[in-house]
Amino acid sequence: MSLFRIGFLPLVDAALPIIAHEYGLAKQEGLRIELHRDRTWAAVRDRLTYGITDAAHLVAPLAIATSLGLDRPAVPLAAPFMLGLNGNTVTVSTAIADLLGEDDWDDVGAIGHRLAALAHSRAAQGRKLRFGVVHRYSSHNYMLRYWLAACGCHPDHDVEIIVVPPPAVADALAAGDIDGSCVGEPWNSVAVDRGDGVILASTSGIWNRGVEKLLAFRAPLLDERRAEVEALIRALHAAGALAIDRGQQGDVAKLLAREEYIGLPADIIARALSGRLVPRRDAPVRHIRDFLVLHREAANFPWRSQAMWLYSQMVRWGHAPLDAAGFEAAVSVFRPDVYRAALAGTGAILPNASAKVEGAIDRPLGASSVSGRLIMGPDRFFDGMLFDPDRAMDYAAQQLAATARAIPIV
C-alpha cells in the first residue's frame, strides 16, 4: 500500500487529509496517510522541500513563492487540489474593538474605514497598530492588506504587520504583543472565548471565494507518482463530501479536536465547520455565508486565475516583480489537469478552461447551478472590484501605481 506523508498545521482547514486517513477513504484508494503536525508554515514548507514529507497542507501564496524562489532557492511545487476556500477572520483585541464601536459584520467596508481612522490616529501618536499574519506569503497577509488599503490605510506605513504562527495568535493578543490578526480558525475563536479578542470581519467578506490552503507536492514527485497522486485526490474529494455533511459535522469536529490534530474543544472547531461564529464572548452566534468552503461548488478545483490574483498582490506589495514570466510561473503551480484526470468519470464537477482562446487561463465562471451545470462568476472583492485574468498585468500595474501614490511624503 503506497504511503503519503503529509505535513499540516492545527487548523480546521486541515480537515480533508485527516478525514481521508481516519475514515478509511485513503485506504479505499490503496493508500496510507501519515500525518505530521507542525506549528509554523515555514516548518511545513521545509519538511516538504527537503523531502521529509511527500505533500503538505500549505497556504497558497507560499507554494507560489517557494516555486518562484522568492527569498530562498526555488523548489518547484505543484498543487492539484485545493483544501478549502476562506476560513479566516480579522480579529482585534477587546480594547481596540471597544474603540471601534458597534460591531458591523454586514458591512466590512464600514468597519474597515473605522479601523483605518483609528490606525491613522495611533500612527500620528507614534503608536502604530500591530497586526499578526501567519506568513509573509499568505492569503491572510494579502487579504488583510487589500482590505486595509481599500479602506484608506496603507499597510506598510500606517500600521505594522508581523508574522505570528497560527497557534500563537491568541496568546499574542492576550499578551498585548499584537492589536489584531488575520488567522484561520479555531484560533480566532480561542481568543474570543478567553475574552481577549473580538472578530471584526470574515475574509469571505473581503474576497467572496478566496483561495486559502492547497495540497502541495514537489513537482518531480507528482510526476513520478502521478497515479498515486490522482488516487489521493479522489480520497480527499470524498473526504470533502463527508466534511460538509451536516449529519457528520459533529463527529468530524470531535475527530479534529483530538490532541494529535488540533487539540482544542470540539465545540470551538464545530463553529468553523458550520459557519456559525461567536464574534465576542457571550455575544449571539452569527451565521457567516461561505465562511469556510471545504467542498461544494468546485471549491477543490485549482483555479489558475486565483494564482494570478495572488501573484498580483505579491507584485503590489513589493514581494515579486511585475512581469509576464512571473504570472506564468505562478499559474504553473496550480494543476487543474491533474485534478480533472483524477476525478474523470466520478461525477465530480470538472470545470473547463475558458473557450475564449485555446489554452486560456482557468477562472471561476459564479456560484450557482443551472440544470446541474456549474455557473461561476469572476472573483469579486468587497470594494466592488473584479479581477480579470486576461488583463492581469494591467491590473497589477494599476494597483502598484495606486499603492505608490498612497505612500506619504516625509
Q: Cα 325 to chain center, whole Å?
A: 24
102: exposed, middle or buried (Cβ count in 10 Å: 0-12, 13-18, 19+): exposed
Confidence class for position 406, pLDDT limits 50, 70, 90: confident
Rounded CA-CA distance 322/272 in Å is: 36
| Strands 77-86 vs 292-293: parallel, antiparallel or unpaired | antiparallel
User: Is the model's pLDDT at 90 over the cut of 50?
Assistant: yes
What's the whole-number mean pLDDT along residues 193-220? 95
Angstrom CA distances, 339 to 19, 232, 329, 345, stand at 19, 10, 19, 12
Structure confidence by residue, pLDDT tens digits, 221-280: 999 999 999 999 999 999 999 999 999 999 999 999 999 999 999 999 999 999 999 999
In this structure, of 197-201, 378-382, 392-396, the range with the lowest mean pLDDT score is 378-382
User: Looking at residue 103, what is its pLDDT?
Assistant: 65
Which SS3 state, helix, strand or coil, does residue 168 take? helix
Rounded CA-CA distance 42/38 in Å is: 9
Question: Which residues are within 8 A (CB) of 36 and not within 5 positions of it... i.e. 6 or more apart?
Answer: 5, 6, 7, 8, 47, 52, 53
Rounded CA-CA distance 20/234 in Å is: 10
User: Is the model's pLDDT at 381 over the cut of 70?
Assistant: yes
Structure confidence by residue, pLDDT tens digits, 100-111: 987 667 799 999
Beta bridge partners of 287: 276
Tell me the torsion sign for CA atoms 327, 332, 333, 339: positive
34: exposed, middle or buried (Cβ count in 10 Å: 0-12, 13-18, 19+): exposed
| CATH fold of the domain at 88-205 | D-Maltodextrin-Binding Protein; domain 2 (3.40.190)
At 257, which amino acid appears?
A: A
Rounded CA-CA distance 353/350 in Å is: 10
80 close to 233: Cβ distance less than 8 angstroms: yes
What's the whole-number mean pLDDT along residues 114-127? 97
Cα(first)–Cα(last) distance of the chain, in Å? 63
Mean pLDDT (the chain) is 92
Backbone φ and ψ of 113, nearest 5°:
-70, -35
Nearest-Å Rg of the Cα atoms of the chain is: 20
Please give the helix or strand (H or E) that residue 8 lies within, else none.
strand 2-8
Backbone φ and ψ of 170, nearest 5°:
-60, -40
Rounded CA-CA distance 113/115 in Å is: 5
31 close to 235: Cβ distance less than 8 angstroms: yes
Please give the helix or strand (H or E) that residue 341 lies within, else none.
helix 336-343
In this structure, of 197-211, 283-297, 366-380, the range with the lowest mean pLDDT score is 366-380
